[in-house]
Amino acid sequence: MKNRDTCALKIPGRIRPGRALPLLALVLCAFSCSPHATGQNNSSKSRDFTLKVDAKSNIFRAGVVAPAENPEGLVPPSVTFERSAGKVLTFSNVSGRVSCCGGGEEFNDADGGTFAGGVTDVESLGGISGITHPNKTMFLVAVFLDDNPPTPPGPARLDANDPKNLTPELYQTFFIGTGKGKQFEVPAKATRLFLGFADASGFTGAPGAYDDNVGELNAKFSISAKTAR
């Protein structure tokens, strides 16, 4: 059976002058139609990123140029990537320590600490969902956005221990922590990822109280095509 995926060429031992150009065209065809000559789709390649996440990074300012509400803190750091289905987010390392108070009485890593009673119950704001945690505060979170700014009401809040954190929706804040051993599914229409913190007075109620936070995290991660296990 003939292989239809390649261009079969029979090159004579002696080439007539008048046939040189047509033969050259056939040779170029052989390279172009071979499946080995096509480049890989860039969207399938892994992209590696590193972000510094200041403790004042306000996750509720993701994608918001001039916030009418909750202007405290800093715009959270972000990366952009090509939109496509079947991508995953994985973290190779998250280092550093942060504190929710200017005095720095208590610092914790990306998994969070127990300051203010150790309970997080932060409300949603401006189309970005809040998040809850029964026994941790000041932990690293993230949110995926498409090319549009967030608009209320936004998706439902997640509990940080809910398995749905591994399959977040657009505009839905989800728990990262140190990210060890986790693989997060990237929403098919996502083009941006923001990292930051979900803070509030006593970590309860409306987002805020960012300006007294201190410290910094350094996050290394990749966004790549999901591979079969």
Per-residue tens of pLDDT for the chain, all 229 residues: 444 444 344 444 444 445 444 444 443 433 333 333 333 334 457 899 999 999 999 999 999 876 667 678 999 999 999 999 999 999 999 999 999 987 667 899 999 999 888 999 999 999 999 999 999 999 999 999 999 999 999 999 999 999 999 999 999 999 999 999 999 999 999 999 999 999 999 999 999 999 999 999 999 999 999 886 5
- Within the chain, strands assigned E span 47-54, 78-80, 87-99, 120-122, 131-133, 140-145, 158-159, 174-175, 184-185, 192-197, 204-205, 214-225
Q: What is the pLDDT of residue 211?
A: 93
Instruction: Please give the CATH architecture assigned to the domain spanning 42-225.
Output: Sandwich (2.60)
Q: What is the pLDDT of residue 1?
A: 43
Of the candidates 60, 98, 87, 69, which has an alpha carbon nearest to the alpha carbon of residue 177? 98
Q: What is the pLDDT of residue 198?
A: 98
Q: What is the pLDDT of residue 104?
A: 64
Indicate the domain borders of the chain. Answer: 1-39, 42-225
Q: Buried b vs exposed e over 120-132: b needs ≥16 C-beta within 10 Å? A: bbbbbbbbbbbbb
